[in-house]
Amino acid sequence: MRREEVGLLVDSLKKAAAARDVVDISLGVGDLIQNMTCRMVFGEAKNSEFDLKPLARELLNLAGAFNIADYVPFLGAFDLQRLTKRMKSFSKAVDTILEKIICEHEREARWKKKQQMKDFVDVLLSLMNQPMTSDEEVLSTLDRTHIKAILIDMIVASFDTSATTIEWTLSELLRHPAAMKRLQDELQTVFGLDKMVEEKDLFNLPYLDMVIKESLRLYPVGPLLLPRNCMEKTIIDGYRVPKNARTIVNAWAIGRDPNAWSDNAEEFLPERFADTSIDLRGHDFQLLPFGSGRRGCPGMQLGLTITRFVLAQLVHCFNWELPDGVLPNELDMSEIFGLSMPRANHLVAVPKYRLRV
């Protein structure tokens, strides 16, 4: 499925390359990730009736918005910023769409006694109303509300994360032609120019891994990760943290800290990972794009696989140049702060097909 969706994107980019058109990479990659997610979760690519991308973006905006009631609690009752009203409207819209999707899957399940392929919604529906037990104790029962909550978690977590990482990584590669050339050389050595990237060979690409690590260091998908609640009072580096304190980890600042990354911490330099064992799984606290421990991101492996595959394919299949004579060091790298950290402006470039297939 991933190969098929990426192939469709490559085909559209080949047509643009033949016409020397400027392409909106942000839009293309965003649609690609949305289609992949919808096919995995719902069994079909996005359609106009069930387009969840605007709703996912609205939730991220609401979750990351400044809320004055966090600092002056009694103002929360007045909803001065209309955040509560927007959240209620969002919840109603999402519930309507997810209810339609679930009902459609239930109808298909009744008509098709034996389905050839099950998507994630089918799996959840098969578990609905079955008690979840541990040591013969009934813990909970999966119901319709739980299914909707799980689905919206998956949608919001996947739509923005991989697409944002791919955008930032391509942006830095466009700004650093030497790094782009080295990555293309590695891909050409492994795959040649007569075939596209195969997902099974992604782990034979050490420089690709270095590039992605460096991109996530500078542009973590969640710059402040997710808030944590301190379970008991403790002292960390001389600071007293009371019980039930809300704690926030500034992964963005850690990734740019000169004490952890030397004086060139602000520079894009994938080679800094060449002789280190630093990984992305939360074992090394100077690099925490997915958090750490039991509360780390459960979708990390899938997200990294998609990011590696899409990025490798785009770099292997095409040479890229900025439009209108823009120089690499002139590329706009401004960002939007929030729960996630996407580019402020879409990334656009001109592709030139480089394979012989």
CA distance 242 to 233: 4
Residue ranges for the binding site for heme? 297
Distances from the Cα of 29 to the Cα of 44, 96, 218, 268, angstroms: 18, 27, 20, 22
At 288 the three-state DSSP class reads: coil
Tally: H helices and E strands in the chain? 11, 9
Distances from the Cα of 36 to the Cα of 4, 217, 234, 318, 319, angstroms: 9, 25, 43, 21, 24
Longest dimension (CA), the chain: 68
Residue ranges for the binding site? 297
CA distance 144 to 290: 29
Q: Which of 314, 217, 208, 335 is nearest to 268 (CA)?
A: 217
At 303 the three-state DSSP class reads: helix
